[in-house]
């Protein structure tokens, strides 16, 4: 069976701690979300889906890509798990073989790293590939379709951590080439801007 890759950019959060939509924060003259979409679009033979929730209208108005497929998560306030679940629900119906999950606020992530992760995943017999940041694991993460049902069971703000823990024997771990920066506060955003100087 031919590989059919879906990329899901999760950008539905409220950015409560930051107090404004981090998806729209500017970096190198562009919003964080548009940077993320541009990188995802550079992956050959894939289709990119964007999951929105809070600030949906505002974010849609800021999108440069006219081809991206937007999924509306009306339950965005339930947390990250609900956004992944909503995305997987749509993607599962379209017979994709694999899913790459990315968050919209990882500006240091490179296209070359995404390609390396995908290549390593397709060269491996394992059905999950996760990114390692030192002693922490997180997105980008790849799942084969056999895990879509497990992703559909996600609740609240837990993300896919429980699935990664449960199936660690079936998980390939790839070390990130950049540090993990969680842009949840103005201080973290300022630190990101300093890197650009």
Asked if residue 103 has pLDDT above 90, the reply is: yes
Own/partner long-range contacts of 180-184 (Cβ < 8 Å, ≥24 apart):
180/106, 180/133, 180/136, 180/138, 181/106, 181/107, 181/108, 182/105, 183/18, 183/22, 183/25, 183/32, 183/105, 183/107, 184/15, 184/17, 184/18, 184/22
32: domain CATH number? 3.90.550.10
At 58 the pLDDT is 96
At 163 the pLDDT is 95
Most distant CA atoms of the chain, gap in Å = 47
- As a whole number, mean pLDDT of residues 147-156 equals 94
Contact 128, 171 (CB under 8 A): yes
Average pLDDT score over the chain: 93
Residues 105-144 pLDDT 10s: 899 999 999 999 999 999 999 999 999 998 899 999 999 9
At 181 the pLDDT is 84
Total tally of structural domains belonging to the chain: 1
- As a whole number, mean pLDDT of residues 44-72 equals 95
% the chain with pLDDT above 70: 98
At 72 the pLDDT is 97
The DSSP bridge pattern shows strands 98-103 and 5-11 to be parallel
Rounded Cα gap, residues 39 and 48, in angstroms? 10
Asked if residue 104 has pLDDT above 80, the reply is: yes
Asked if residue 52 has pLDDT above 80, the reply is: yes
At 35 the pLDDT is 95
- As a whole number, mean pLDDT of residues 157-162 equals 86
At 197 the pLDDT is 61
**Cα-to-chain-centroid distance, residue 43:** 14
- Residue range(s) defining the domain that contains residue 134: 5-195
Q: How many CB atoms lie within 10 A of CB 75?
A: 14
At 1 the pLDDT is 58
Asked if residue 196 has pLDDT above 80, the reply is: no
At 180 the pLDDT is 87
């Amino acid at each position: 069976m031919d590989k059919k890759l879906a990329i899901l950019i999760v950008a539905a959060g409220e950015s409560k701690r930051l107090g404004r939509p981090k998806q729209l924060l500017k970096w190198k003259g562009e919003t964080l979300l548009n940077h993320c979409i541009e990188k995802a679009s550079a992956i050959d033979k894939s289709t990119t889906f964007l999951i929105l929730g809070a600030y949906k209208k505002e974010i849609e108005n800021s999108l440069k890509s006219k081809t991206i497929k937007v999924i509306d998560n009306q339950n965005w306030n339930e947390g990250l798990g609900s956004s992944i679940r909503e995305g997987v629900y749509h993607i599962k119906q379209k017979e994709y073989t694999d899913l790459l999950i990315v968050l919209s606020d990882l500006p240091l992530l490179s296209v070359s790293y995404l390609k390396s992760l995908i290549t390593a995943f397709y060269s491996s017999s394992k059905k999950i590939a996760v990114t390692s940041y030192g002693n922490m694991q997180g997105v980008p993460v790849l799942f084969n379709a056999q895990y879509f049902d497990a992703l559909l069971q996600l609740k609240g703000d837990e993300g896919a951590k429980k699935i990664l823990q449960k199936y660690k024997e079936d998980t390939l771990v790839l070390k990130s080439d950049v540090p993990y920066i969680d842009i949840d506060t103005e201080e973290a955003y300022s630190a990101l801007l300093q890197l650009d100087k």
